[in-house]
């Protein structure tokens, strides 16, 4: 029988040495962008209990991060209109690379790896053209290898489809240009949509909102195991109007808008920050940084089933925990929110 040292030497000699995995990084359950206790921008890896496993300083405000499917690496994206995306070794928090978009582009804060982990897709604004683009990067060495249309203007979050190979993109519909900061240039004729693209960029399906809701910018999305896409919106019209902020969609069908007519919709202040399905996928939740609440909606009935005020200000990101009984889930919701606020400087809710 070989000794342990001899076994490892043999692996090295045969070029099949064990590769670094997420276990080597402490198996973080969540990635969170925020500020640390000194007010500096960071991206942090958090355990399921909210403990900080690693952190990496960012040159400016971050928005979201994408985890590599197998390697303990994550790509942290700048908040729009940022031009950096840091590739981080999640074992140490060290920077492995920095992605920069081509001239005339900026990142929109999100990205996703392909199912085989060979490719990274990034949402971008080709601002001189007024078009949304999806950047394509080789995930082995993070070289840019191409780009294609996002299917609209202002692509924000991008996810993998779960009902078929491909991508789903939330095109918010709002045109911006770095020369005018975050000024919205096309509100009278904006047209948000969900675009379903192949992995090579072919448009396979697209959903647009009814014309009376064309000011509802689609920003963040979640994808259920059956392929249903939950989408969170940000209303650009009069905040006195009571409009739906959450919808569900399946390719080939009309969108289903949630909690229509419920007066508690006004508590969201017209703003959906993040969306996630519950662990058992029977409910969908949206955060509202501007309203200071979380709304939970029943997927079967489309009714608003619960509203949770949050003591931590500006509740932002959220992610699903495994399915639990409803009362326990509510307790865990608030507890994790507070812990993540202390860890990263901004509340993140786990549902």
* Matching residue, tokens 């289903």: 256
Beta strands 193-197 and 167-171 are antiparallel
19-271: which CATH architecture? 7 Propeller (2.130)
Check whether 241 has a pLDDT greater than 90.
no
Check whether 3 has a pLDDT greater than 70.
no
DSSP-derived secondary structure for 1-26:
---HHHHHHHHHHTT-PPPP-GGGGT
Residue 90 main-chain phi, psi, to 5 deg:
-80, 0
Residue 284 CB coordination number (10 Å)? 26
**How far is 216 from 209, CA to CA, in rounded Å?**
8
**How far is 258 from 264, CA to CA, in rounded Å?**
12
Between 24-38, 171-185, 276-290, the lowest mean confidence (pLDDT) is in 24-38
> What are the pLDDT digits (tens) for 211-235?
999 999 999 999 999 999 999 999 9
Mean pLDDT of the chain: 86
Check whether 314 has a pLDDT greater than 70.
no
> What are the pLDDT digits (tens) for 50-86?
889 988 999 999 999 999 999 999 999 999 888 999 9
pTM (predicted TM-score): 0.87
Check whether 313 has a pLDDT greater than 70.
no
End-to-end Cα spacing for the chain: 49
Tokens describing residue 69: 């499917």
Check whether 348 has a pLDDT greater than 50.
no
> What are the pLDDT digits (tens) for 144-186?
999 999 999 999 999 999 999 999 999 999 999 988 888 899 9
Smallest CA-to-CA distance from 118 within 90, 96, 142 is with 142
**How far is 24 from 347, CA to CA, in rounded Å?**
27
Tokens describing residue 29: 């359950």
- Output the pLDDT for position 320: 77
**How far is 113 from 229, CA to CA, in rounded Å?**
18
> With contact defined as beta carbons under 8 Å apart, do 170 and 157 qualify?
yes
- Output the pLDDT for position 72: 92
Report the share of the chain in percent with pLDDT over 70. Answer: 85
- Output the pLDDT for position 47: 87
- Output the pLDDT for position 331: 31
């Amino acid at each position: 029988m070989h000794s342990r040292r001899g076994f490892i030497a043999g692996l090295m000699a045969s070029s099949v040495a064990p590769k670094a995995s997420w276990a080597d990084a402490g198996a973080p359950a969540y990635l969170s962008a925020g500020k640390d206790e000194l007010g500096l921008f960071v991206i942090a890896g958090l355990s399921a209990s909210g403990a900080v496993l690693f952190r990496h300083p960012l040159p400016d405000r971050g928005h979201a991060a994408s985890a590599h499917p197998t390697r303990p690496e994550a790509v942290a994206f700048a908040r729009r209109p940022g031009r950096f995306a840091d590739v981080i070794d999640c074992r140490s928090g060290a920077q492995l690379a920095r992605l920069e978009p081509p001239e005339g582009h900026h990142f929109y804060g999100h990205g996703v790896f392909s199912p085989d982990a060979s490719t990274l897709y990034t949402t971008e604004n080709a601002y001189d053209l007024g078009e949304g683009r999806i950047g394509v990067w080789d995930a082995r060495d993070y070289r840019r290898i191409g780009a294609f249309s996002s299917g609209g203007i202002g692509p924000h979050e991008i996810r993998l489809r779960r009902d078929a190979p491909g991508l789903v993109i939330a095109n918010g519909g709002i045109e911006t240009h770095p020369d005018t900061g975050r000024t919205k240039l096309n509100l009278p004729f904006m047209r948000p949509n969900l675009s379903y693209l192949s992995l090579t960029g072919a448009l396979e399906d697209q959903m647009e909102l009814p014309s009376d809701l064309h000011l509802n910018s689609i920003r963040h999305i979640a994808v259920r195991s059956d392929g249903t896409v939950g989408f969170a919106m940000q209303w650009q019209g009069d905040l006195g109007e009571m409009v739906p902020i959450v919808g569900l969609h399946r390719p080939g069908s009309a969108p289903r808008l949630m909690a229509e007519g419920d007066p508690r919709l006004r508590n969201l202040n017209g703003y959906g920050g993040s969306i996630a399905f519950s662990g058992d996928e029977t409910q969908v939740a949206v955060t509202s940084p501007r309203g200071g609440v979380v709304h939970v909606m029943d997927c079967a009935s489309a009714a608003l089933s619960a509203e949770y005020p949050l003591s931590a200000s500006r509740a932002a990101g959220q992610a699903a925990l495994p399915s639990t009984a409803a009362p326990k889930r509510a307790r865990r919701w608030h507890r994790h929110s507070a812990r993540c606020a202390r860890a990263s400087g901004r509340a993140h809710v786990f549902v």
